[in-house]
């Protein structure tokens, strides 16, 4: 947690006449990192999948004439360049299938469209994605998948038994455990089942069945693989877009104006909270127990789903990113390291009053860094002294040139 007491002032480093062993090691590490800068990677299979899904979505949009207009597309993706407002316009996510950035309220719709487009690439994988992503009841999902796995195991172990290759759709167990799952029909079709109406022996009625096609009896190993994929796959989750921004030095750095997306509240609840804040003075004068204070703190933390964090560098430039409120502070340290020209340089992040963030494993809301926070970056003084003693020079700005090329202005 952020300590309450201020850190003791560190003694000024003594002047050094020659490079120390540590300085030489730091310089060698820097050279090694520069030499090992990642070269352009060849397109991966994941890139090919993203490109294919993008093409499918574009073709589908053109065919239905329901594609977004240019103005809508500008609204759907946050601006990345030019002058920007002091805070973000909303919360955005990156679709792992297409790489497209979408608003929070458009996330599920886009995921559905992307998975639907993926059916043309791999119908089995797409149906499994749909099952894991859109069935929220985890217990019901587990029971349903285990039941389907038993169906496939029976076929694999007893391919000569015709009864195992037929699944009655009106069967009570099938109805309660399997057919209630979203996407399950697409899965059965994708792995080789077809719907047939068959007569009931001894009766004049008929019933609906899933029947495995004869050709699949020569592909029993495929059925086994499909079962393993079904049991071991994970839901498709859109990744929170950090909306990484760099701002010029500004006295407005500590001012935040956040959209409703950052709050776990409705608009009416937000207004009510604002009204309650006017009564905070009266509450502060009341004698409260430690348990009462802790309960109020927990309730306060649950109000926020996300937090907007700014880090001010020694040269005044400001790095901004969006995080989950319950995400670990280590994510912020990683973001800062990735933004540095020399990511090997050790640094500390300081809160108001120069208090250090000591434990990177704590969540933002546990450190009081929600729904927004302004932190200050400080270099390790010993390492800086070694670099200067060795005659080394740091760049004018520690940030990567590609970030500085699209610096914005806080207004």
Q: Which range (73-77, 130-134, 261-265, 385-389) has the least confidence?
A: 73-77
Q: Which residues lie below 8 Å from residue 189, measured CB to CB, with a gap of 6+? A: 123, 127
Written as six digits, the tokens of 61 are: 């949009």
286, pLDDT greater than 80: no
**So what CATH class is 301-409?**
alpha beta
pLDDT digits (tens, 9 = 90+) for 159-215: 999 999 999 999 999 999 999 999 999 999 999 999 999 988 878 889 999 999 999
112-135 per-position pLDDT tens digit: 999 999 999 999 999 999 999 999
| pLDDT level of residue 289 (50, 70, 90 thresholds) | low
DSSP notation for 224-290: HHHHHHHHH-----PEEP---EEE---TTTT-----GGGBSS-HHHHHHHHHHHTTHHHHHTS---H
Q: Which helix (H) or strand (E) holds 322?
A: strand 318-324
Q: Say if residues 248 and 313 touch (Cβ distance below 8 Å).
A: no
Q: Which CATH architecture has domain 92-239?
A: Up-down Bundle (1.20)
The answer to whether residues 215 and 235 touch, using CB atoms and an 8 Å cutoff, is no
Map residue 42 onto helix, strand or coil. Answer: coil
Residues of the chain with CATH 3.10.20.90: 301-409
- Whether the per-residue pLDDT at 387 is higher than 60: the answer is yes
Name the phi and psi angles at 40, rounded to 5: -60, 125
Please give the C-alpha separations between residue 94 and each of 50, 106, 245, 259, 264, in angstroms, as whole numbers.
12, 11, 16, 19, 21
**What is the pLDDT, as a whole number, of residue 184?**
96
Pairing mode of beta strands 306-312, 318-324: antiparallel
Q: Which are the contacts of 31, defined by CB distance < 8 A and separation ≥ 6?
A: none
Look up tokens 């839901």; give the residue: 235
Task: Give the pTM.
Answer: 0.70
In the chain, where does the domain assigned CATH 1.20.58.2190 lie?
A: 92-239
Instruction: Read off the pLDDT of each residue in 334-356 and give the average, rounded to a whole number.
Output: 90
Q: State how far the Cα of 186 lies from the Cα of 207, in Å rounded to an integer.
A: 20
Pair 1, 367: CB distance under 8 Å: yes
């Amino acid at each position: 947690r952020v300590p309450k007491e201020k850190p003791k002032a560190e003694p000024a480093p003594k002047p050094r006449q020659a490079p120390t062993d540590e300085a030489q090691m730091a310089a060698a590490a820097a050279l090694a990192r520069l030499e090992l800068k990642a070269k352009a990677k060849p397109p991966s299979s994941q890139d090919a999948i993203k490109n294919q899904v993008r093409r499918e979505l574009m073709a589908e949009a053109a065919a239905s004439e329901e594609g977004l207009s240019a103005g809508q597309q500008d609204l759907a993706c946050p601006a990345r360049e030019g002058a920007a407002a002091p805070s973000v316009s909303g919360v955005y996510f990156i679709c792992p299938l297409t790489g497209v950035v979408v608003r929070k309220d458009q996330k599920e719709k886009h995921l559905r469209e992307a998975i639907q487009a993926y059916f043309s690439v791999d119908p089995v994988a797409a149906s499994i994605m749909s099952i894991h992503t859109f069935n929220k009841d985890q217990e019901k999902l587990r029971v349903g998948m285990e039941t389907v796995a038993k169906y496939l195991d029976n076929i694999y172990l007893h391919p000569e038994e015709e009864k195992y290759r037929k699944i009655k759709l009106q069967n009570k167990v099938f109805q309660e455990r399997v057919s209630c799952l979203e996407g399950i029909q697409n899965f059965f079709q994708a792995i080789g089942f077809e719907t047939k109406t068959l007569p009931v022996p001894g009766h004049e009625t008929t019933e609906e069945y899933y029947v495995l096609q004869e050709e699949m009896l020569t592909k029993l190993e495929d059925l086994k693989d499909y079962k393993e994929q079904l049991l071991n796959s994970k839901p498709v989750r859109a990744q929170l877009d950090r909306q990484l921004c760099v701002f010029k030095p500004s006295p407005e750095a500590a001012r935040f104006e956040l959209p409703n997306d950052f709050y776990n509240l409705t608009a009416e609840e937000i207004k009510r909270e604002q009204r309650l804040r006017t009564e905070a003075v009266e509450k502060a004068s009341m004698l409260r127990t430690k348990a009462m204070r802790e309960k109020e703190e927990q309730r306060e933390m649950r109000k926020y789903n996300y937090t907007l964090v700014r880090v001010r560098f020694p040269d005044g430039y400001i790095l901004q990113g969006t995080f989950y409120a319950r995400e670990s502070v280590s994510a912020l340290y990683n973001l800062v390291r990735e933004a540095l020209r020399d990511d090997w340089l050790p640094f500390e992040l300081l809160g108001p009053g120069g208090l250090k963030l000591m434990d990177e494993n704590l969540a933002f809301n546990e450190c009081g860094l929600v729904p927004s926070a302004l932190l200050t970056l400080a270099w390790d003084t010993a390492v800086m002294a070694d670099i200067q003693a060795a005659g080394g020079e740091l760049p004018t700005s520690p940030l990567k040139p590609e970030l500085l090329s699209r610096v914005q202005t806080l207004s």
